[in-house]
Structure 1
Amino acid sequence: MGVHGLSSFFTLNPDLSEWKNLHSTKLVIDGNNLIYMIYFTSNLECIYGGDYDGYATAIRNYFAAFKACNIEVILVFDGGHDVSNRKLKTAQRRLQERLATAKAIAKTGAPNLKILPILAHEVFKDVVRELGIQVLQCSFEADEEIAAIANYYECPVASQDSDFYIFNLVGGFVRLDSLSATPQTVTMEDGENVNTLSCRWYHVDNLLCHFPGFDKSLLPLFATLMGNDFVNGQMFEGFFSRIKLPRLRSKKLKISKQHTKMVGLLYWLSTTSADLALSQILQTLKSTRRESTERIVSETVARYEGFTSPFVDKFKNGAPMVLTDAANGTFPEWFSTLFFCGILNPYLLNIAAVHKVFHLTQIDCFDLESSYACSLPLRRALYGLVLSVNSACDKMPSIEEFDRDGRNIARCFVEPVLNAPGYGKLPKLEEIATLTLQKRKELFFCLFNVENMPDQCPETLHGLFAVICFWLKNSRVKVNENLLRSFLLGIILMKLLPRTKLSSRKTSEKLKFLKNGCTVRSCEGIGDILLGVEEQLNQDILCRVNSNFSKFFIRPTHNYAKRFDSELVYLVSQLQTCLLFARFLNRLLLEPCKNVEFHKILNGTFLYNFTKELDGRVNPDLFIAEYLGRGTVLDTEFALLYKKIHSLLPGDSFRPTRSAAGGKKKKKRVGLVLLI
């Protein structure tokens, strides 16, 4: 991300930044960067579908340090893809890189490779909203708005994006990975003891003091010539080959071979002006390319110089914020409000503004269809609802989906649907807010092809049950029934087992903590799933459950005898796409069903381990009963819950069971491709 090679240059030269103790200030954080950083630095699994409960714990722990230091965090997130498609190639390249990693993981379950699970963005926003942290979601690329918001508050920016070394930030720039995770007590000059977070702080003057005469207004041109997410630096290779860069003499800067051109360019720019530099650059290009190159350079330089944000206008004078679609039409006010505070996902804006969506490859069976194929009917309805904004006719544009096709990234065009079986014509986007709760709920269930719920089924689970039914009916291969057992049981266990302080622990420490953790009792929300259970639980039941199930939350070992089961993970991946687009629909319909919080229902490691355990049991239901405690309230209520789900399903929802003693495992069966 950012300016090519700049982050590694600053890593090589840490003295260009200075240590500071951060406290009692606002801090604008690049939310998209932080989503990745917390997950990947918290010893969490990503191979089996995501350990979202542990991720939520890691997020809470991370922000607790800021609260202790009186640091007010403002999280700013990217919105949709720019309508100019300036970053289209960057987005496609990242899809290819993710696909390559996913394929490598699917071969062996390699624990050293990482890809971010697809529900992590939603989990992150759920948890920070729960913590009361301010969330701002931009219409498109967030970098310029992050800089503008930070300058408005005169506070630092925290990010991993090297673009922020270029922006002229009043409060400076802090690399996210330099922020201490643990508060330290520091005695101030007035004798007061305050909690602080140490960090490396940078200002553009720290760099430019090494290049006397450099006009800081030339930094945007420097960044453009080096190349970034918007401009391919190779287009200026002719320029670099024709100018004579000065011989580098610097006792204070460490300059590796890869940074020679970068530092030489800084020296060269310190001897010229913006107009003269641009003129010399254009002279090295063919005359047919000069006009287009000048336009690209001017647009990119302007991005660094004239950064503004509608959020700043709103903070200053309450100016309304407007969200527009591809035809420059405006969205309903309720839609814009929910979007700018991060409740509606940028995926929806991509549908409306650029008619392109990008599907992040998961750990799939790469001989089968993409795991996103399972949720295609949900997306087609989503496209129809979103594209109806300002639509004067029934003909809508197709949506261009970038997704895995076999072992490569491909694109296809998907037609929106305008009707829902059992409901009729879909409402226009602007009409949704006028519908009654009952009509919105009716539409939601029709989209999932669920006619009714059992009367005894808790209303808080209606939306989740609809997703489960849809997943089982639309899976590209028949689902292993043991996976459904594990999924439902996992939801209950995550409300019973002590799962705090796990995110950064090593495997052995996690196991020890879980086994000894039965003194910690947290049954929050268990009554929403198993009616009347909470008051009947006692410490003996909790300790038994804790002792029996804790081992299934630990990373499994893969070898020749216990090979990685990519088909099982593929089934979980399909479920996750259904959960994701169900949330988008539920939010778009103003939540007719209770919002499903993924960090309270999904731990991929448990799903994988316990499903494999049940696969080896002759009677899985008996095994679950034994582990829950036969005859206990947990055992009987879980059996009833499972029966309720079964009553909603057709008889052929699952693949035929295989006896645990039936000898060698049969070859995997490839499901038929469903054409829609």
Structure 2
Amino acid sequence: MGVQGLWGYADQRPEFFRDVKLTNTKIIIDGNNFYFQFYHNSSLDERHGGDYDLYVEALKRFFQTLSDCNIQPYVVLDGCCNHTDQKLETTKLRAKGHIKSAHDLSMGREGRLLPLLTRNVFIQVLSKLGVPLVQCLLEADKEIAALANQWSCPVLSTDTDFCIFDLKGGFCPLTQFKWENASQGRIPARCYFIENVCANFNGMNKDLLPLFAVINSNDYSDMKVMYRFYRHVASSSHMSAYRGKKQAIIHSLLTWLSPFQDLKVAIENVLNVLPVSDREEVREYLSSQMQVYKIPERNLSGFFISGSSTTDDIQLRSLVPRWTLAALEKAQLPKTVVDLLVLQRVFLIPQVENSMRLNAHTCALPIRRAFYGMILNRRRHSSVSGPSGDGVEAVTCVVEEYGRENANLTMSHVEAAPPHSAKGISLEEIEKVRTLFGISSGFIWCFLWSCFHALWLPLARCLQMFLEILGVSSSTVEEVPRHLVLPVYVTHFWLIHSDPRPSLQHLQAILVGIAHGSAASPGLALQELRTSRQQPLDRDAAHIFSQWQATLQISLHLNQLLCRPLEEPEVSRLYSGSLVHAVFRRLNLSTPPKVLLSGSAFEIFEVLLRAVQAAIPNIFFSPLVHSYPCNSHFINK
């Protein structure tokens, strides 16, 4: 992500920036970068699984400040990693880094890890606040640059790729966007302009910056052959002037390139330093990778103004069904859908858990299999010729799933297996439900559709599929508020499939957190309980709660795929990691839940507990011997 070492270099060069006070303007927000960096910059807990409620409060303050300054944000999210597979190795390296961070945090060491449901929370907040949002099918950098230039406004991000794009309104690093210091309707900021960079290198041709970025190695690059070139351009004076070797190389490379006014001439001079046998391969590589920084003529303004599609990629359009395309662009479906349709590959997001146990995502594997099967259902059938002529044969679809084993990145093949009730159903048929009733359909439509048969796939059948996949019954949730039905189903599935099996205190801690977040007046007592970051982490508790989050995440995605037969809950009201861990500690000290909750919060807790316990055997929480890595001992209970 970005040009390696460039921010450390640019941050030492104030002449690359202009001081501005932003007001009365649009601003394009690099969504993926923003929700990641904003969580970390808000000094929120990362060890206990995410303080989503505090994250939401910080986001609301941020966007309210923009509104007070008459700054209109437009958020652009990335989609699929890259449908050409160019970034697979980079994605693997990044996943390995996240696994290491998760392990370090679990062991009490320092680390940075974005909690699992942060993206879900971010999208829900934007929707509630009415902030314009688009989710691109592929990487969004070029789309962001094109839109910003269409509207001549700045880009907000920390991705140094935006130091290479020629942005009319400049690139505003999030660290230089002092929104908390807003005054008199203006936000002080520093914006980076490539004109300033070029002016400081003797009027350097700005068209050379993409060449600089590729040589310097961006996300796609494997430039081992360029080491010889680095040695050629490196200056000992620059090495002593800059704190890091990378920054010295950056300065030397810009200095070396600056005399060339023609891009082709510059490329030839780069190639002349290399062995003849490598030149053509490197030439093709440089030419193709510089396209990363070519701003397209078409931009996203049409989507925000009239809802027009975001992509002209013919190959992508052939792989992604029409209704899926529209739902993805509105972020009404997770970007995982594109990875599945295009690559049949998924990277599971690491969490802070016990690395000696099975990946916490293993708990939700049955749901993922069904989710994958629903998406790839159409591909499970192929026409074959038999003795009688034509025939249809079901074929197995397999998804490459990257996850954690111990503290290592591993890949396994997961069979995509749609539920029995989805037999013969494709995404195109689900489209008809979405077209008729929109994205916010709920139980009422299930009731209406159950009254008669029609050519359209009944939404009641979507609910049937959801219940079948999670192995739950609608009869257990009659008392539960509609917006908490999905979390109750998730909690039931988690109890049955989690390993180690949750105790009654684990269950109560989850439900106390949900009740506290859902109550109109939850009181202040629980807020004072939040676990201190200095306390040792209960790794098994973290592992069990991570399994609940993994189950919730894929259940939310499944519900979205099925046109939301269940009302989607606000994730930030369901789980707050430091709070849930603190409640669990208190419950283990024999503190009853009634002491921790009061009024309507305790009433909600009782309703939730009755609904969950009604679906499990009475002896479920009896003492038992836990298996260590395998959960087969209770799957059949």
Which TM-score applies when normalising by structure 1? 0.83
% identical equivalent positions: 27
| Distance in 2 separating the partners of 1:249 and 1:556 | 42
Q: 2:129 pairs with 131, 143, 152, which one?
A: 131
Is the alpha carbon distance of 1:438 and 1:68 closer, same or farther for their aligned partners in structure 2, counting shifts above 3 Å?
same
Q: 1:294 pairs with 277, 283, 301, which one?
A: 283
Q: 1:464 pairs with 475, 480, 487, which one?
A: 487
Q: Which runs of 5+ in 2 are unaligned?
A: 383-393, 433-456
Structure 1 window deviating more from structure 2 (353-362 vs 331-340): it is 331-340
> What's the offset of the Cα at 1:550?
3.1
Q: Which amino acid aligns with 1:349?
A: V
Q: 2:177 pairs with 166, 176, 179, which one?
A: 179
What residue in structure 2 maps to residue 225 of structure 1?
A: 215
Q: Does 1:207 align with 2:207?
A: no
| Distance in 2 separating the partners of 1:215 and 1:556 | 50
| Distance in 2 separating the partners of 1:218 and 1:594 | 52
Per the alignment, in what secondary structure is the counterpart of residue 84 of structure 1? Answer: coil
CA offsets 1:43-93 (integer angstroms, 9 cap, x no match): 211111111111111110111111110000011111111112221122111
| Distance in 1 separating the partners of 2:515 and 2:500 | 26
| Distance in 1 separating the partners of 2:555 and 2:120 | 12
Is the alpha carbon distance of 1:15 and 1:327 closer, same or farther for their aligned partners in structure 2, counting shifts above 3 Å?
closer
Indicate if the aligned counterparts of 1:375 and 1:577 stay in contact, CA closer than 8 A: yes
| Distance in 2 separating the partners of 1:130 and 1:180 | 24
> What's the offset of the Cα at 1:388?
2.9
| Distance in 2 separating the partners of 1:73 and 1:380 | 37
| Distance in 1 separating the partners of 2:545 and 2:14 | 43
Indicate if the aligned counterparts of 1:227 and 1:234 stay in contact, CA closer than 8 A: no
Is the alpha carbon distance of 1:174 and 1:369 closer, same or farther for their aligned partners in structure 2, counting shifts above 3 Å?
same
Indicate if the aligned counterparts of 1:324 and 1:331 stay in contact, CA closer than 8 A: no
> What's the offset of the Cα at 1:597?
1.6
Q: 1:337 pairs with 314, 323, 326, which one?
A: 326
Q: Which amino acid aligns with 1:33?
A: N
Q: Which amino acid aligns with 1:170?
A: K
| Distance in 2 separating the partners of 1:259 and 1:321 | 37
Indicate if the aligned counterparts of 2:52 and 2:118 stay in contact, CA closer than 8 A: yes
Q: 2:505 pairs with 471, 482, 505, which one?
A: 482
Per the alignment, in what secondary structure is the counterpart of residue 195 of structure 1? Answer: coil
Per the alignment, in what secondary structure is the counterpart of residue 415 of structure 1? Answer: strand
Q: Which amino acid aligns with 1:400?
A: E
> What's the offset of the Cα at 1:613?
1.4
CA offsets 1:403-447 (integer angstroms, 9 cap, x no match): 001221111111100333xx2516211111332221111111111
What residue in structure 1 maps to residue 593 of structure 2?
A: 624
Q: Which amino acid aligns with 2:610?
A: K
Q: Which amino acid aligns with 2:570?
A: E
| Distance in 2 separating the partners of 1:262 and 1:179 | 25
Is the alpha carbon distance of 1:635 and 1:397 closer, same or farther for their aligned partners in structure 2, counting shifts above 3 Å?
closer
| Distance in 2 separating the partners of 1:21 and 1:41 | 21
Is the alpha carbon distance of 1:492 and 1:635 closer, same or farther for their aligned partners in structure 2, counting shifts above 3 Å?
closer
> What's the offset of the Cα at 1:648?
1.1
| Distance in 1 separating the partners of 2:431 and 2:595 | 49
What residue in structure 2 maps to residue 605 of structure 1?
A: 578
Q: Does 1:450 align with 2:448?
A: no
| Distance in 2 separating the partners of 1:19 and 1:406 | 48
Q: Which amino acid aligns with 1:377?
A: P
CA offsets 1:465-515 (integer angstroms, 9 cap, x no match): 11111111111211121111111111221244xxxxxxxxxxxxxxxxxxx
What residue in structure 1 maps to residue 442 of structure 2?
A: none
Q: Does 1:196 align with 2:186?
A: yes
| Distance in 2 separating the partners of 1:15 and 1:147 | 22
Q: CA RMSD in A?
A: 2.8
CA offsets 1:175-233 (integer angstroms, 9 cap, x no match): 11111123544xxxxxxxx5100000121111111112421111110111111111134
**Structure 1 segment 67-78 matched on structure 2, within 5 A:** 67-78=67-78
Q: Does 1:656 align with 2:614?
A: no
| Distance in 2 separating the partners of 1:104 and 1:184 | 37
| Distance in 2 separating the partners of 1:637 and 1:301 | 57
Is the alpha carbon distance of 1:259 and 1:556 closer, same or farther for their aligned partners in structure 2, counting shifts above 3 Å?
closer
> What's the offset of the Cα at 1:345?
1.3
Is the alpha carbon distance of 1:68 and 1:451 closer, same or farther for their aligned partners in structure 2, counting shifts above 3 Å?
same
> What's the offset of the Cα at 1:31?
0.8
> What's the offset of the Cα at 1:292?
3.0
Per the alignment, in what secondary structure is the counterpart of residue 409 of structure 2? Answer: strand
| Distance in 1 separating the partners of 2:330 and 2:499 | 35
Q: Which amino acid aligns with 2:581?
A: Y
Q: Does 1:569 align with 2:542?
A: yes
| Distance in 2 separating the partners of 1:175 and 1:319 | 29
What residue in structure 2 maps to residue 26 of structure 1?
A: 26
> What's the offset of the Cα at 1:647?
0.4
Indicate if the aligned counterparts of 2:146 and 2:299 stay in contact, CA closer than 8 A: no
Q: 1:615 pairs with 588, 606, 630, which one?
A: 588
Structure 1 window deviating more from structure 2 (461-470 vs 382-391): it is 382-391
Q: Which amino acid aligns with 1:647?
A: A
Is the alpha carbon distance of 1:318 and 1:591 closer, same or farther for their aligned partners in structure 2, counting shifts above 3 Å?
closer
| Distance in 2 separating the partners of 1:399 and 1:288 | 39
CA offsets 1:305-361 (integer angstroms, 9 cap, x no match): 243555245568875445879786253333212111222111111111111111121
Q: Which amino acid aligns with 2:491?
A: I
What residue in structure 1 maps to residue 388 of structure 2?
A: none
Is the alpha carbon distance of 1:381 and 1:8 closer, same or farther for their aligned partners in structure 2, counting shifts above 3 Å?
same
Which TM-score applies when normalising by structure 2? 0.87
Is the alpha carbon distance of 1:318 and 1:54 closer, same or farther for their aligned partners in structure 2, counting shifts above 3 Å?
closer
**Structure 1 segment 191-340 matched on structure 2, within 5 A:** 194-241=184-231, 243-244=232-233, 257-272=245-260, 273-309=262-298, 311-312=300-301, 314=303, 319-321=308-310, 329-340=318-329
**Structure 1 segment 373-522 matched on structure 2, within 5 A:** 373-389=362-378, 392-393=381-382, 394-420=394-420, 423=421, 425=423, 427-434=425-432, 435-454=457-476, 455-496=478-519, 522=520
How many equivalent residue pairs? Answer: 597
> What's the offset of the Cα at 1:20?
0.4
Indicate if the aligned counterparts of 1:326 and 1:352 stay in contact, CA closer than 8 A: no
| Distance in 2 separating the partners of 1:322 and 1:396 | 30
Q: 2:118 pairs with 108, 117, 120, which one?
A: 120
**Structure 1 segment 635-654 matched on structure 2, within 5 A:** 635=602, 638-651=605-618, 653-654=620-621
Is the alpha carbon distance of 1:100 and 1:254 closer, same or farther for their aligned partners in structure 2, counting shifts above 3 Å?
closer
Indicate if the aligned counterparts of 1:137 and 1:342 stay in contact, CA closer than 8 A: yes
What residue in structure 2 maps to residue 81 of structure 1?
A: 81
| Distance in 2 separating the partners of 1:326 and 1:574 | 36
Indicate if the aligned counterparts of 1:247 and 1:264 stay in contact, CA closer than 8 A: no
Q: Which amino acid aligns with 1:600?
A: R
Per the alignment, in what secondary structure is the counterpart of residue 413 of structure 1? Answer: strand
| Distance in 2 separating the partners of 1:106 and 1:94 | 19
> What's the offset of the Cα at 1:244?
4.9
| Distance in 2 separating the partners of 1:144 and 1:428 | 33
Indicate if the aligned counterparts of 1:388 and 1:428 stay in contact, CA closer than 8 A: yes
Q: Which amino acid aligns with 1:487?
A: I
CA offsets 1:566-621 (integer angstroms, 9 cap, x no match): 0000001111110100011100111000112210111111111111211121xx5x
Indicate if the aligned counterparts of 2:419 and 2:468 stay in contact, CA closer than 8 A: no
What residue in structure 2 maps to residue 586 of structure 1?
A: 559
Q: Which runs of 5+ in 1 are unaligned?
A: 186-193, 497-521, 524-541, 658-666
